[in-house]
């Protein structure tokens, strides 16, 4: 019997009070938007389904009503558990106004939870999240006062502390692929990532729930290459065809982002000489030849550009938490995809690699840093951004480099071969006595002896046993006026304070050379 039906018919299958897992990766990447829009339309017509618990491991949406924001209604949703919230301001408003129960759990934990649920395991036991806002001794992943339930527990095994994330029943999984046959077999040859698609589907199937798959193409039964089938039809209940399905909100189709086409590097557009370039250069100086690295969203993507400018792009293996290994990460609404990648694997397997220490280095953004070395990227200034893969990445990497400007807001600099001059200072400090929310724990990093560096356009800090230490200042900068007085706490100043490399501030290429990877291994031991 054919499993193909309209989006409205599929939406009609979702019962009240269901736990619905929606898989996708933000910016429209791998997002089943037609099905989500049909759920919204059904609720507006009928008032059903009601009181859904919506679970999404990665940020989803376009900040303009798409993605998870299709479901941003306090009657439609009663609880949201998201790995990332930045793309869905509508759902953020429901959380901050206490209209729904709101939680944020690490993306990698949710990825692994789907596999645990599929295997009828009790949950996930991991060190990921210790000392952060996910730790139940702090916030337990809660984002508002309405979130009362405990979703995380502390366990001690063989004298070590771990966090236990209990499994839950998945009533509905809404996933996306490229092609399907009428039996429900799903391929993903036209997608830019695999995400948690199979794990989410298996979790719903083995919970006694249902799987709704959105695809672009319908193929005859028996015509699909079994080597390309990512989700077998035995776990799929409904297939919805959307012939207008796009690769992302920004990009309709691009075979270079699906791995079907390799593209030449082309002419590189260098970064302009500004604070982002200076910071990216200094962060790139922390990398070693042969490193397996993760670059976070936003400013860190400039590190890949710097390496390309310096002719060193081939010396570092970039990875993305969505499952890419090698290649050049895409940016903006296409973030989560990559070009010329060497491999593309399921997100859950990538997080196995990350959690087990497979990353040599991570370069990540910060919104706030405090005197203890804690970092906040998840909740600040009344805004919920969420955590994504940040906790898995920052707690699993052998070395961590956090980057950002020293202060928040509009500012103006003059960069020249002799250093930097501040023409207009930003409005607020990012270096504060205590962060609003602990996304990265300096205490845990010190306990695990992880080298941590904090890079800004005018100063560099390192994490020491007694907290943050100022180790470098930019040439042309006055230590007291331009650094210490612009922070909301006084860090310890290194006895032998260094000057940042003057080449960081030059319009010409740096002539950067990466340290050999063997040195990186020795440093990590």
Same domain? For 96 and 181 the reply is yes
| CA neighbor of 273 nearest in space, from 39, 517, 506 | 506
Q: Are residues 176 and 289 in the same domain?
A: no
Residue 483: which domain range? 275-300+358-508+519-524
Query: Is residue 513 in some structural domain?
Result: no
Strand residue runs (E) in 251-410: 292-295, 317-319, 324-325, 328-329, 338-339, 343-344, 361-365, 368-370, 375-376, 379-380, 383-384, 399-403, 407-408
- Separation CA 249–CA 62 (nearest Å): 7
Vertex 402: Cα angle to 483 and 504 (nearest 5): 65
Number of domains observed in the structure of the chain:
2
pLDDT value, residue 520? 47
Residue 254, in any domain of the structure: no
Is 404 within 8 Å of 430 (Cβ atoms)?
yes
Looking at the structure, do residues 366 and 226 belong to the same domain, yes or no?
no
Establish if 207 belongs to a structural domain.
yes
**Could you give the C-alpha distances from 384 to 88, 252, 300, 340, 387, in angstroms and in order?**
10, 29, 20, 33, 9
Instruction: Going residue by residue through the chain, which has 525 residues, state the pLDDT in tens, using 9 for 90 and above.
Output: 899 999 999 999 999 999 999 999 988 999 999 999 999 999 999 999 999 999 999 988 988 899 999 999 999 999 999 999 999 999 999 999 999 999 999 999 999 999 999 999 999 999 999 999 999 999 999 999 999 999 999 999 999 999 999 999 999 999 999 999 999 999 999 999 999 999 999 999 999 999 999 999 999 999 999 999 999 999 999 999 999 999 999 999 999 999 999 988 766 688 999 999 999 999 999 999 999 999 998 899 999 999 999 999 999 999 999 999 999 888 878 889 999 999 999 999 999 999 999 999 999 999 999 999 999 999 998 899 999 999 999 999 999 999 999 999 999 999 987 789 999 999 999 999 999 999 999 999 999 999 999 999 999 999 999 999 999 999 999 999 999 999 999 999 999 999 999 999 999 999 999 989 764 455 555
Q: Are residues 61 and 187 in the same domain?
A: yes
Q: Which residues are catalytic?
A: 321
Spatial neighbors of 519 by CB under 8 A, at least 6 apart, are 288
- Answer whether 72's CB lies under 8 Å from 63's CB: no
37: left (phi over 0), alpha (psi -120 to 50) or beta: alpha
Q: Would you say 109 and 126 are in contact if contact means Cβ atoms under 8 Å apart?
A: yes
Q: Is residue 403 part of a domain?
A: yes
Task: Say what the pLDDT of residue 518 is.
Answer: 62
The answer to whether residues 495 and 400 belong to one domain is yes
351: in domain: no
Alpha-carbon distance 130 to 160, whole Å?
11
Round to whole Å and give the CA distance between 251 and 453: 35
Structural domain contains residue 260: no
As a dihedral over the C-alpha atoms of residue 466, residue 468, residue 471, residue 477, rounded to 10 degrees, the angle is -140
CATH number at residue 16: 3.40.1080.10
229 with 370, same domain: the answer is: no
Specify if 160 maps to a domain: no
Verify that 283 and 235 share a domain, yes or no. no
Same domain, 292 and 231: no
Residues written for the chain: 525
At 128 the pLDDT is 99
Do 235 and 364 reside in the same domain of the chain? no
The verdict on 75 and 32 lying in the same domain is yes
- Tokens matching residue 235: 């776990």
| Confidence at residue 417, expressed as pLDDT on a 0 to 100 scale | 75
CA pair distance 365, 94, nearest whole angstrom: 26
Helix (H) or strand (E) segment spanning residue 432: strand 431-432
- In-domain check, residue 156: no
Q: Within this chain, do residues 386 and 450 fall inside the same structural domain, yes or no?
A: yes
Q: Please indicate, yes or no, whether residues 183 and 46 belong to a single structural domain of this protein.
A: yes
């Amino acid at each position: 019997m054919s499993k193909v039906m309209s989006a409205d018919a599929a939406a009609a299958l979702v019962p009240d009070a269901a736990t619905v897992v929606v898989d996708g990766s933000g910016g429209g990447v791998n997002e089943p938007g037609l099905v989500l829009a049909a759920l919204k339309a059904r609720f507006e017509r009928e008032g059903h389904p009601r009181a859904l618990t919506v679970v999404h491991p990665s940020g989803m949406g376009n900040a303009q009503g798409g993605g998870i924001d299709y479901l941003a209604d306090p009657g439609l949703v009663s609880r949201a558990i998201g790995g990332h919230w930045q793309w869905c301001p509508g759902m953020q408003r429901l959380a901050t106004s206490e209209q729904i129960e709101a939680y944020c759990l690490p993306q990698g934990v949710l990825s692994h939870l789907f596999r645990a649920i599929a295997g009828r395991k009790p949950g996930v036991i991991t060190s990921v999240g210790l000392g952060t806002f996910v730790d139940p001794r702090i916030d337990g992943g809660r984002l508002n006062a309405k979130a009362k339930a405990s979703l995380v527990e502390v366990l001690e095994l063989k004298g070590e502390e771990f966090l236990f994330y209990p499994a839950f029943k998945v009533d509905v999984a809404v996933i996306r692929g490229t092609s399907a046959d009428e039996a429900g077999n799903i391929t993903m040859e036209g997608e830019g990532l695999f995400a948690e698609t199979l794990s989410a589907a298996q979790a719903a199937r083995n919970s006694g729930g249902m799987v709704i798959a959105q695809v672009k193409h319908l193929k005859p039964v028996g015509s699909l290459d079994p080597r390309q089938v990512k989700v077998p039809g035995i776990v799929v209940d409904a297939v919805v065809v959307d012939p207008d399905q796009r690769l992302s909100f920004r990009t309709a189709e691009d075979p270079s982002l699906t791995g079907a086409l390799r593209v030449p590097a082309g002419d590189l557009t260098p970064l302009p000489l500004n604070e982002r370039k200076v910071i990216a250069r200094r962060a790139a100086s922390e990398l070693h030849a042969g490193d397996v690295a993760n670059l976070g969203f936003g400013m860190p993507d400039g590190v890949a550009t710097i390496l390309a400018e310096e002719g060193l792009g081939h010396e570092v293996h970039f990875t993305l938490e969505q499952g890419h290994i090698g290649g050049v990460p895409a940016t903006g609404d296409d973030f989560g995809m990559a070009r010329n990648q060497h491999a593309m694997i399921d997100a859950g397997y990538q997080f196995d690699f990350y959690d087990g220490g497979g990353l040599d280095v991570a370069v990540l953004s910060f919104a706030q840093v405090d005197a203890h070395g804690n970092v906040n990227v998840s909740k600040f200034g009344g805004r919920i951004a969420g955590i994504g893969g940040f906790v898995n990445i920052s707690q699993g990497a052998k070395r961590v480099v956090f980057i950002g400007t020293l202060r928040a807001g509009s500012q103006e600099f003059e960069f020249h071969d002799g250093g930097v001059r501040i023409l207009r200072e930003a409005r607020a400090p990012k270096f504060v006595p205590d962060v609003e929310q602990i996304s990265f724990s300096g205490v845990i990093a010190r306990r695990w002896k992880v080298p941590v560096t904090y890079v800004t356009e005018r100063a560099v800090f390192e994490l020491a046993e007694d907290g943050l230490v100022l180790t470098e200042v930019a040439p042309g900068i006055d230590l007291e006026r331009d650094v210490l007085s612009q922070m909301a706490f006084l860090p310890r100043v290194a006895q032998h304070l260094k000057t940042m490399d003057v080449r960081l501030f030059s319009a010409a290429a740096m002539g950067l050379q990466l340290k050999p990877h063997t040195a990186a291994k020795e440093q990590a031991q």
